């Protein structure tokens, strides 16, 4: 074989190899363009696929047949390069004529593959990464602005006593017995109300109730209730977590708390610990000499974020393998509600160890014992999640 023949064979092989990648991707893009651009939603997917196939391969084949007729050698040679150049030229033309529609269809590659193969399938992840990567080159995304959304530290819904001004501090008496601060709180559940002495404990992450107290209030404590290890002044403890409808403190009503069933947290002076999930909702001023505590409720607009209390009652995991393709993730987060109360408007997040946060799609409602799925898609700064590290969290959630 001569050198020119070898180069010719190598060139032909390169054209065939390039066509094997470009033509299928062009077919997929043409279908996505047709689906994005269609004005009549009644056009079914098979007809869109037929249209995409005609544009991608039908027209270049027709041109080759029109040009070379029954000349098999020239026809075969034309089919090595014409579909490749045809589709590359068509994509280049689209970048100049309909760039917005092209970018939109490229970004829809992951959704299109997700509908066909599943949102967490490798095909969906790869096409999403490739499509969004090309779209970013055609139309670089704007720099993200700081979103004004509720964070995990957003306040609990607070109701003041009748006649109290919204920004008025409430004076709550306490008993400073030794180094302990004791105060009276009122708990309310399906079974009634109880007024009990509680110990104000800044080391407790969550407020606690005794088993007998939970029974009197009518609180259900399932055997499979979520458990949490939390810190108290006397050391770490692990207990089951349950939903408490109402807690009142000095005329202030807090609705919907997650409390810990902890028998060891009660003694002959107090029936439980008043933890940070209650006290973090106030600005607190202590007057030890007068044995009074001033509580100023933190203001909030509209419905308050309950992610702090709800997070221990949910289980969040990534469906499948959390892979990163071309610097992008397309993960499905499964959120299971392990509490006895439905949760709504759930917004899970991925927290990477370098500080980057990526929010998923909102889940409208998750019934007790049920699960919800949230798609998280976006660009990361790392190619390997195992080297970067990540945790799963809740940005927003509501009882």
Residue 144 clears pLDDT 90, i.e. is over it = no
The CATH architecture to which 158-302 belongs is Beta Barrel (2.40)
pLDDT recorded at residue 345: 95
Q: How many angstroms separate the CA atoms of 308 and 314, rounded?
A: 11
Assigned CATH for 308-398: 2.60.40
Residue 65 clears pLDDT 80, i.e. is over it = yes
Long-range CB pairs of 32-38 (<8 Å, 24+ gap) are 32/105, 32/106, 32/108, 32/109, 32/112, 33/94, 33/101, 33/102, 33/105, 35/105, 35/108, 35/112, 36/101, 36/104, 36/105, 36/108, 37/101, 37/105
Residue 148 clears pLDDT 50, i.e. is over it = no
Q: How many angstroms separate the CA atoms of 230 and 32, rounded?
A: 50
Q: How many angstroms separate the CA atoms of 113 and 122, rounded?
A: 9
More confident call, 147 vs 358: 358
Q: What is the pLDDT of residues 198-213, one digit of tens each?
A: 998 877 889 999 999 9
* Cβ–Cβ < 8 Å for 58, 66: no
More confident call, 161 vs 364: 364
% of the chain with per-residue pLDDT over 70: 83
Place of tokens 């819904």: 157
List the domain boundaries for the chain. Answer: 10-138, 158-302, 308-398
**How many Å separate Cα 222 from the centre of its chain?**
27
More confident call, 319 vs 20: 319
Q: What is the pLDDT of residues 342-384, one digit of tens each?
A: 999 999 999 988 888 999 999 999 999 999 999 999 888 765 5
């Amino acid at each position: 074989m001569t050198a020119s023949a070898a180069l010719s064979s190598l060139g032909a092989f390169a054209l065939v190899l390039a066509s094997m990648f470009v033509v299928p991707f062009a077919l997929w893009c043409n279908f996505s363009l047709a689906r994005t651009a269609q004005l009549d939603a009644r056009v079914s997917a098979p007809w869109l696929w037929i249209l995409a196939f005609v544009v991608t391969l039908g027209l270049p084949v027709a041109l080759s047949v029109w040009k070379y007729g029954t000349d098999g050698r020239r026809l075969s040679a034309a089919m090595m390069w014409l579909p490749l150049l045809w589709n590359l030229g068509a994509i280049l033309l689209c970048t100049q004529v309909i760039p917005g529609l092209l970018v939109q269809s490229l970004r829809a590659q992951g959704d299109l593959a997700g509908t066909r193969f599943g949102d967490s399938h490798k095909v969906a992840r790869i096409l999403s990464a490739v499509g969004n990567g090309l779209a970013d080159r055609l139309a670089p995304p704007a720099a993200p602005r700081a979103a004004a959304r509720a964070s995990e530290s957003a306040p609990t819904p607070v109701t003041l006593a009748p006649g109290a001004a919204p920004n008025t501090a409430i004076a709550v008496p306490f008993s400073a017995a030794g180094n302990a601060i004791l105060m009276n709180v009122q708990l309310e559940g399906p079974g009634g109300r109880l007024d009990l002495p509680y110990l104000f404990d800044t080391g407790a992450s969550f407020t606690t109730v005794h088993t007998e107290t939970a029974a009197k209030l009518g609180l259900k404590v399932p055997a499979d209730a979520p458990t949490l290890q939390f810190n108290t002044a006397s050391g770490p403890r692990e207990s089951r977590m349950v939903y408490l409808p109402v807690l009142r403190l000095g005329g202030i009503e807090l609705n919907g708390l997650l409390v810990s069933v902890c028998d060891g947290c009660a003694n002959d002076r107090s029936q439980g610990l008043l933890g940070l999930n209650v006290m973090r909702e106030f600005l607190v001023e202590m007057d030890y000499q007068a044995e009074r505590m001033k509580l100023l409720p933190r203001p909030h607009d509209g419905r308050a974020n309950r992610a702090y209390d709800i997070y221990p009652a949910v289980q969040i995991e990534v469906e499948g393998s959390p892979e990163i393709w071309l610097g992008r993730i397309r993960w499905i987060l499964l959120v299971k509600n392990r509490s006895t109360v439905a949760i709504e408007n759930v917004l899970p997040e991925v927290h990477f160890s370098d500080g980057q946060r990526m929010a998923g799609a909102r889940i409208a409602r998750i019934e007790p014992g049920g699960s919800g799925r949230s798609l998280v898609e976006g660009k990361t700064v790392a190619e390997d999640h195992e080297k970067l590290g990540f945790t799963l969290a809740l940005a927003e959630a509501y009882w």
